[in-house]
Structure 1
Amino acid sequence: MSSAGWFDGVKDLTLALVRTPSVNGSADEVRFAGRLRDIIAQDGFPTHHGDELRVVPIPGDPWRRSNVIGLVRGEGRRTVLLCGHYDVVSTANYGELEPWACDPEALAPRLIEALAGAPPGTLEALALTDLQSGDFLPGRGALDMKSGLAAGIAVLRHFASERPPGNLLLLATPDEEVNSAGMRAAREMLPELAREWELELTCAVNVDSESDHGDGGQGRSIFLGSVGKLLPFVHVVGRESHAGEPLGGVSATLLAAEVVRSLEWSPDLVEGQGAEASPLPALLKVADTKGAYDVTTPAAVWLYLNVLSHTRRPSEVLDWARSKVERSLQKGLQEAASRAAAYARLTGTTVVSFESQPLVLTYSELYARAGGLSAHAADWGQLRSLTEQPGLDGPERSRRMVEFLWQRSGLVGPGAVVGFASLAYPAASLEASSAGPFAGRFREIVDREARAAGEWSGSTVKLRGYFPGVSDMSFLAYGFTDADVAVLAENTPAWDLGLAQPKSGDFALPVVNIGPWGRDPHLRLERVHARYAFETVPELVWRVALAALAG
């Protein structure tokens, strides 16, 4: 191992970072950048002429958040980028323990007390065992991902003391947990900084975390890529009716039920096999669009689906969603007709007929049908008031725009609109042709260092193809083509409300993820495995960075 003696320093950095709150969307997230700069600057950094430490505001960010960038110069232009995010999710799920959510050493005994008597075989019992062992450190962000960021800072400091050939650039970003505003801005900024500082950006190491409820064998991994994410939406439109006369309309709920049954957990889009298989699609939202109680049936139902993939293009997913929705609406109308006929037989009334070919449009087609927004210039004020209210997320802004354009188009149900509800993440992979000329050599380096880690750490470190959760890696190894971006721009209603993709250009870095492992990220029981996070991860990142700088 190197002479760094990582454990105590990385632990102390992790405690300092966790004790500094940075919940996404809060004032703490805004303030954190300055505090992180101060933490990095301890011990006199920057120490040499040419070193840099900057807080860089994100252009146009409504919260006025910032990226933090630290550069340590060695010799030459070759540069390795270390990156991680500093925002965390809410602490509300700690309940009565929330006052200690960001104080790991105060939280641990209180969690142990709260978990006493947990039934054997439960996640709570596992957490109790972990915490009693002293092998895990709890707290919001301890796993996701301030221990990884602490490892990156420690490596940067060690690089400053050793000054080997090459340069090390640390990037800490906000907003990874929601819309990756920090990394999207950094992608635009990095080529400019590289020119200003005369750097040759060679590759990147992300330091995000992995969850493992076993012995850590899966968590101790170097990931050669990251899954992509798309969030297709479906806006299902029926026809309202009084609840006492339901056959006077078309049930948007019945139609949506068929859509839900067709989309939820559909295996159609799964890629890969075994442990490398992409997850099943999962619905994140299903709700009617009524604002309050009355006895009118819902006019529409809004839903969106989380799709994680390795290679699928946005156009492919959009076509798949449209096809599934078309068949689902047809089936729903057939079921509606069958039930109406059964009711007619019971009551001796006339059978109600239903359309057999419902209209299903993409968002771009709806936009055209409505004449675009320019045709309704007088309604811009209303649209802005609907979509620019504080606190609205991307999917809700998209829903409001779809509903607005459907009403203005004059179209009536039954029908549906499909598109993308929020930010899209391209998949990242060292195996992709877009990974760059250094990707093959980088793969050799991480393969060698993973095998060597088994000897110096005493535990195996695996190579895995895709980081299973959405990560900022997507915007470094940017895998979207111009055609992909065009499809997304035309079919993401909130595209111009903070969800636009970075320019594709020629900038892409081969990137891997080397980060800590633990259990239950985002939950009250979030905890990080201390020895791996505070000792193995920084040593592994150090070795990979040095090898990459050596070429």
Structure 2
Amino acid sequence: MLLCREEVFALTKKLVQTNSVVNLGGEIEMSQVVHDWIKKLPYFKKNPTFVRYQQTIDDDIERYNVIAFVKGTKEPSDKTVLLMGHMDTVGIEDFNHLKTHACNPDELMNALKLEPLPTIVTEHLESGEYLFGRGTLDMKSGVASNLYLLKYYSEHPEKLKGNLVVITECDEEDGSRGILSALKELITLREENGFDYIGAVNADFVTPRFDGDENRYIYKGTVGKLLPSFFITGEEVHVGTCFDGIDPNFIVAELTKQISYNPDLCNEAYGEVTVPPVSLKQTDLKPTYTVQTALSAFVYYNFFVHSWSPQDVLVMLKEQAEIAFQNALDEFKRKYEQYSKLSNQPVREITWKPRVYIYEELDALLTDEHGETYINHMKKFKEDLMAVKDLDTRMFAARVVEEACKWMSDQQPVIILFYSSLYSPRIEVTGKDENEQNLLNALDEAIKQVQPAYEHPIVTKNFFPYISDASFMALSDDEDGIDAVMNNNPGWGTKHFVNYEDIRAINVPVINIGPYGYDGHKQYERTEIKFSHEIVPNLTHEVIQRLLN
């Protein structure tokens, strides 16, 4: 066992003390801290070109990745293992009056002792076995583990029959521009050094799956994440005659009722099940107050996948939207008839029918109907929309759909289904090829080696259950699945673009060995010191040894 605990602990605190909330500028300082730390190591003083300080590509703000590598000297070999971890964090506003201490673990833990806390938090605080603070769990302990191993192997290259590359990337908590940019550098490094990437280890955090869960999980592969989105039009009406039209919010409410928390939309694979979709935003697009109903509404949902492709999800959700639309119309009719009876008014016929289009279908329909006039208009509209400040990818896509719908000859209520943000691909690591089998074997052997030194069970599962940069190391989707993402994101090629060919070019199986703790993204974020600062580096070390030696 490597005697690494104190060093990883100290390095974690050093990293946490640099506030690196995503998108707010601190990522630059964080990358400089990491870069300077690496550059001071004797190996990198001797080999300065083995450290790369890479600015992200096609990014709205300035920030950097740090990529460093050690070439083993035990025997010549092109085999190369990748370690990866992100240096950005979520915000600190949830710390409330303690946010000035959020990035200083010692100050924060002293301040927490004076606060009323949940019982389990008090127990962990008093135990001395947990380190509190923003980023301690997600995921600067993991970055510290990776940097420790980089230092260890830079001091002992004779213990490597192959090479180790450590990626410390930015922007995991938002758009994954860090790892998507890093792929370019990994391709360059391969061309320059002949690296053969055979396996990757991500160091993102793990946490109990349920109350009383004592397992510490290692994940093989990762969940995929989509953001299916819906643009809904109704029929605008003065609220004094509300049954003469239909409010799109009424339709949206039924849509959310149909989709959110629906177990039928959980994806099971290899005995593991995703959590169901849940809405992340629901709004109408009415700019100001009037006494008329809104013309349109917009909603999007988190959607996790294990085995379903993006095309599968579109097909399923189109069906769910048709059900929801019909339910909304049935309920509208029932309430209208009830009101008409109460007010002694005649009942007119309700002629609306459920209409649901996938964006690709809508675009093809309008292209067929209007030809180049429509195509050129939409191209110009997107170009102009790019100039609008503070318009994120999701609202950009909604505005494009809104504009396209104006070209429909039939202006009756409609639902348009599309993707409005990044697809984080699912990855299955099942042993289907030599690299996958070797990685799985190395993991199993590493756990057997390290488990006797740790009191809690170390358990493997098939899919890392949270969004992570591990998604961009390989693709389990075929070309049709990726085409569904590209063809159904209205912002594709303007506001949003991912070069999936870069992912295919790397195509390395990935596992997740990361710090363990509680309350990631919450004010009581904390990491268990022994597992995170001792067991994680040793597990990762054992995997590296078995893959390369």
Which amino acid counterpart does residue 23 of structure 2 have in structure 1? G
Structure-1 separation of matches of 2:494 and 2:414: 26
Partner of 1:261: 257
Partner of 1:121: none
More displaced stretch, 408-417 vs 132-141: 408-417
Q: Identify which of 348, 357, 363 aligns with 1:361.
A: 357
Where does the alignment leave 5 or more consecutive residues of structure 2 unmatched? none
Where does the alignment leave 5 or more consecutive residues of structure 1 unmatched? 119-123
Structure-2 separation of matches of 1:382 and 1:419: 18
On the 8 A contact 2:179/2:469 being kept in 1, the answer is yes
Which amino acid counterpart does residue 539 of structure 2 have in structure 1? L
CA deviations 1:307-354 (Å, max 9, x no partner) are: 111100111100111111112112211221222222222223231322
CA RMSD, Structure 1 to Structure 2 (Å): 2.1
Partner of 1:203: 199
Q: Identify which of 445, 451, 454 aligns with 2:451.
A: 454
Is the aligned partner of 1:421 residue 2:416?
no
Instruction: Name the SS of the counterpart of 2:69 in structure 1.
Output: strand
On the 8 A contact 2:39/2:45 being kept in 1, the answer is no
Partner of 1:187: 183
Q: Identify which of 312, 315, 321 aligns with 1:316.
A: 312
On the 8 A contact 2:15/2:30 being kept in 1, the answer is no
Partner of 1:515: 514
Question: Residues 2-13 of structure 1 correspond to what in structure 2 (within 5 A)?
Answer: 2=2, 5-13=3-11
On the 8 A contact 2:142/2:514 being kept in 1, the answer is yes
Instruction: Name the SS of the counterpart of 1:409 in structure 2.
Output: coil
Instruction: Name the SS of the counterpart of 2:239 in structure 1.
Output: coil
Which amino acid counterpart does residue 313 of structure 1 have in structure 2? S
On the 8 A contact 1:387/1:401 being kept in 2, the answer is no
More displaced stretch, 452-461 vs 277-286: 452-461
On the 8 A contact 2:268/2:307 being kept in 1, the answer is no
Q: CA deviation at 1:477?
A: 2.2
Which amino acid counterpart does residue 37 of structure 2 have in structure 1? I
On the 8 A contact 1:451/1:461 being kept in 2, the answer is no
Partner of 1:240: 236
On the 8 A contact 2:431/2:437 being kept in 1, the answer is no
Instruction: Name the SS of the counterpart of 1:537 in structure 2.
Output: helix
Structure-1 separation of matches of 2:188 and 2:415: 44
Question: 1:338–1:246: structure 2 CA closer, same or farther, 3 Å change rule?
Answer: same
Q: Identify which of 226, 236, 247 aligns with 1:251.
A: 247
Q: CA deviation at 1:503?
A: 2.7
Question: 1:309–1:157: structure 2 CA closer, same or farther, 3 Å change rule?
Answer: same
What's the TM-score, normalizing by structure 2? 0.93
Partner of 2:476: 479
CA deviations 1:241-296 (Å, max 9, x no partner) are: 11111012112122222211111111123233898321111111111111222211
Structure-2 separation of matches of 1:300 and 1:515: 44
Partner of 1:90: 91
On the 8 A contact 1:6/1:538 being kept in 2, the answer is yes
Is the aligned partner of 1:106 residue 2:88?
no
On the 8 A contact 2:352/2:412 being kept in 1, the answer is no
Partner of 1:160: 154
What's the TM-score, normalizing by structure 1? 0.93
Structure-1 separation of matches of 2:18 and 2:66: 15
How many residues end up aligned between the 2 structures? 538
Partner of 1:546: 545
Which amino acid counterpart does residue 427 of structure 1 have in structure 2? R
Which amino acid counterpart does residue 95 of structure 2 have in structure 1? Y
Partner of 2:485: 488
Which amino acid counterpart does residue 453 of structure 2 have in structure 1? W
Instruction: Name the SS of the counterpart of 2:31 in structure 1.
Output: helix
Q: CA deviation at 1:48?
A: 4.3
Question: 1:340–1:462: structure 2 CA closer, same or farther, 3 Å change rule?
Answer: same
More displaced stretch, 487-496 vs 45-54: 45-54
Question: Residues 9-408 of structure 1 correspond to what in structure 2 (within 5 A)?
Answer: 9-49=7-47, 52-75=50-73, 76-115=77-116, 118=117, 124-163=118-157, 164=159, 165-212=161-208, 217-218=214-215, 220-272=216-268, 276-371=272-367, 375=374, 377=376, 383-408=382-407
Structure-2 separation of matches of 1:30 and 1:481: 36
Question: 1:498–1:479: structure 2 CA closer, same or farther, 3 Å change rule?
Answer: farther
Structure-2 separation of matches of 1:154 and 1:128: 30
Question: 1:378–1:393: structure 2 CA closer, same or farther, 3 Å change rule?
Answer: closer
Structure-2 separation of matches of 1:432 and 1:351: 64
Which amino acid counterpart does residue 549 of structure 1 have in structure 2? L
Which amino acid counterpart does residue 361 of structure 1 have in structure 2? Y
On the 8 A contact 2:102/2:108 being kept in 1, the answer is yes
Structure-2 separation of matches of 1:154 and 1:361: 52
Instruction: Name the SS of the counterpart of 1:496 in structure 2.
Output: coil
On the 8 A contact 2:265/2:276 being kept in 1, the answer is yes
Identity %: 28
